Chains A and B, each alone.
Chain A
Amino acid sequence: MSQASPIITPGIGTEEKSDQKTDKPWKVIVIDDPVNLFDYVIRVFQKVFGYSEAKARKLTAEVHYTGRSVVWSGDREKAEYYAEVLGTYSLWTKLEQDD
């Protein structure tokens, strides 16, 4: 099986399924946590992804109220890069490939 290295860490996680195709985009998902401040998370999204304040605020609200938000999707290498950077800001991040 050519698969599957699901990793879940408090900072960064990766999930794969054995039947997934490699060309499907990867989603960077930020998981809610009880520590990081709202304005801090908004700023991190603006800084890391270059999002507008409105978009960053919407994503942060989604994380806060639903427990998670897909903050970016695209190729795996870049998704891993973003997850790594978000980890340096102490955000809880998970990577998932689209179904």
Chain B
Amino acid sequence: MPDRELTPEEVDAAFAELVGDLELEEPASDSAFALTPRGTVAVRISDQVRMLVAGMAGAVAMNLSEGFGTVSVEAEDPIAALEKEHSLRQARAETLAADARTVIETVDHDELDLDSAEAWLRVVNAWRIQILSSEAAAEFVRLHEGAKEILDIAAAIVQILSVELP
């Protein structure tokens, strides 16, 4: 735990270290992701946003055991409860790990199949959950307008894919 608050300059420096010199642009419109007649999803986002999405996938993959909250167990049979809890968490983690791999492999594609687009949706949403459920990350977002912008971009991607995907 830090013993003092960061100065605005330190926050700026930390943010610059995180995102480099990206010039952020939100997905321009609802056409950022659009179904094609072939049943695929056309991806029309900037290279900068693609880099952000890749970063989100990396963050999700590295925090599979965290970020999805703590687990509370109330059980008369705690062993069975823990085994169940473990298997369900394991299944979620495996799915998200596979999704994150898919996103990283397809992040530069201009067209996604529906399974890959679904993986993008789950991963970007999972990243939002990780950020917004982390007190430190939420504080960082509060302090830095640019961080809020990234979160807005993630929300826009989730929103557009939610509406566009069949």
Query: A residues bordering B, Cβ < 8 Å?
Result: 1, 3-12, 14, 18, 34-37, 39-40, 42-43, 47, 80, 83-84, 87-90
Contact = CB atoms under 8 A, between A and B. Distances in A.
A18 B76 contact: yes
A78 B137 CA distance: 36
A14 B84 contact: yes
A interface secondary structure, majority = loop
A9 B69 contact: yes
Nearest to A6: B74
A87 B76 contact: no
B150 interface: no
Nearest to B130: A90
Contact of B73 (A3, A8, A40): A8
A38 B129 CA distance: 14
Interface size bucket, B side?
A: 35 or more
B interface secondary structure, majority = helix
B125 A5 contact: no
Contact of B88 (A35, A42, A87): A87
Contact of B72 (A1, A8, A18): A8
B81 A7 contact: yes
A47 to B, nearest CB: 8
A42 B162 contact: yes
Interface string B29-56: 0000000000000000000000000000
